[in-house]
């Protein structure tokens, strides 16, 4: 199984698990969450897709946890209520580091294509556990099982999109009163910002950079979210600029920065 996830994506996806309904739901997650997501998975689905579905949830959760790193600078909380025809589903989540899932559907069928409806809860529970997020999914109304699950995954996508967004007012702090906080000018932040500028000047990075460019250059040494925080905070108008540090970057568009 292979999963690649980018938080600062544009909703691009390539998903192949052999379970058509699961592929469809993961595509919704990527598209509406503005995540770039690639999933390649295979297993003995003819006998029972349970293990494959659960394993995809586990590995996707691990990819999210790895991308978030220390979870510095993120909004942390997200929620959405999404309709699909007669169905209405609420999703609320907290990326605070505590894995828990509360899932409530009223499915009427045992199967959606090749996907047993009982495995939908298993997938979401595995994702929450390995992603270290508190996840609640509640069906508020529904009469069609396809509509129920699709509304749920679209709501999950929107809630994740909110929660992983960088809040520049948070700076480089972990958004928690219990977790370790950071001074405005953490030495690691300064070092990475300086290193990025130096690598651009040496021609090893383009003048317009994305998080993926930085991570590739440094062989994925830094968690995706850490690079996002540094770029956002050192951009014009970011947290560091407001506190007297000279900005290093200009934000061109979502996820794209230019060296000043």
Position 103 in a domain = yes
Position 175 in a domain = no
The 10s digit of each residue's pLDDT in 152-188 is: 999 999 999 999 998 877 777 777 766 544 444 467 7
Position 82 in a domain = yes
- Neighbouring C-alpha atoms within 13 Å toward the C-beta of 193: 24
* CATH for 52: 3.30.230.40
Whether 81 and 121 share a structural domain:
yes
Whether 132 and 228 share a structural domain:
no
Q: Give yes or no for a contact between 161 and 76, defined as CB atoms under 8 angstroms apart.
A: no
Instruction: Name the DSSP class of 186.
Output: -
Phi, psi of 82 (to 5 degrees): -125, 130
**pLDDT of amino acid 160:** 98
Whether 224 and 135 share a structural domain:
no
Whether 102 and 229 share a structural domain:
no
**Residue 215 domain boundaries:** 187-259
In this prediction, residue 220 has a pLDDT band, given cuts at 50, 70 and 90, of confident
Whether 202 and 76 share a structural domain:
no
For residues 220, 225, 227 and 233, what is the CA-based torsion angle, rounded to 10 degrees? -170
Helix axes 224-233, 187-201, angle to 10 degrees: 80
The 10s digit of each residue's pLDDT in 143-158 is: 999 999 999 999 999 9
Average pLDDT over residues 56-68: 96
b/e burial code for range 176-187 (CB count within 10 A of at least 16 → b): eeeeeebeebbe
**pLDDT of amino acid 243:** 62
Torsion-angle region of residue 78: left (phi > 0), alpha (psi -120 to 50) or beta?
beta
Instruction: Name the DSSP class of 137.
Output: E
Position 172 in a domain = no
In this prediction, residue 111 has a pLDDT band, given cuts at 50, 70 and 90, of very high
Whether 160 and 229 share a structural domain:
no
User: Total structural domains in the chain?
Assistant: 2
Position 174 in a domain = no
β-strand 36-40 against 13-16: which pairing, if any? parallel
Whether 157 and 230 share a structural domain:
no
Whether 155 and 59 share a structural domain:
yes
Position 32 in a domain = yes
Whether 83 and 124 share a structural domain:
yes
Q: Give yes or no for a contact between 228 and 221, defined as CB atoms under 8 angstroms apart.
A: no
Whether 157 and 192 share a structural domain:
no
Position 182 in a domain = no
Average pLDDT over residues 241-246: 68
The 10s digit of each residue's pLDDT in 37-46 is: 999 998 877 7
73 contact partners, CB below 8 Å, separation of at least 6? 166, 167, 168, 170, 171, 172, 173, 175, 225, 228, 229, 232, 233
**pLDDT of amino acid 178:** 64
In this prediction, residue 241 has a pLDDT band, given cuts at 50, 70 and 90, of low
Whether 47 and 139 share a structural domain:
yes
């Amino acid at each position: 199984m292979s999963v690649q996830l980018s938080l600062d994506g544009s909703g691009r996806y390539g998903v192949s698990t052999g379970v058509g309904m699961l592929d469809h739901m993961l595509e919704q997650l990527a598209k509406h969450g503005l995540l770039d997501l690639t999933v390649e998975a295979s297993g003995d689905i003819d006998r029972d897709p349970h293990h494959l579905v659960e394993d995809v949830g586990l590995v996707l959760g691990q990819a999210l946890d790895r991308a978030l790193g220390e979870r510095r600078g993120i909004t942390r909380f997200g929620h959405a209520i999404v309709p699909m025809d007669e169905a209405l589903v609420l999703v609320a989540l907290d990326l605070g580091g505590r894995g828990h899932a509360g899932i409530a559907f009223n499915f009427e069928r045992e199967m959606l294509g090749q996907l047993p409806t009982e495995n939908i809860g298993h997938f979401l529970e595995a994702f929450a556990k390995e992603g270290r997020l508190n996840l609640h999914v509640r069906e508020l109304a529904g009469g069609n099982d396809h509509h129920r699950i699709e509304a749920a995954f679209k709501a999950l996508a929107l809630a994740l999109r909110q929660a992983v967004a960088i809040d520049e007012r948070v700076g480089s702090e972990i958004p928690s009163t219990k977790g370790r906080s950071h001074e405005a000018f953490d030495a690691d932040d300064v070092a990475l910002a300086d290193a990025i500028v130096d690598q651009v000047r040496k021609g090893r990075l383009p003048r317009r950079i994305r998080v993926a460019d930085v991570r590739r250059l440094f062989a994925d040494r830094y968690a995706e979210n850490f690079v996002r925080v540094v770029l956002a905070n050192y951009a014009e108008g970011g947290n560091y600029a407001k506190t007297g540090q000279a900005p290093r970057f200009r934000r061109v568009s979502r996820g794209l920065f230019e060296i000043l």
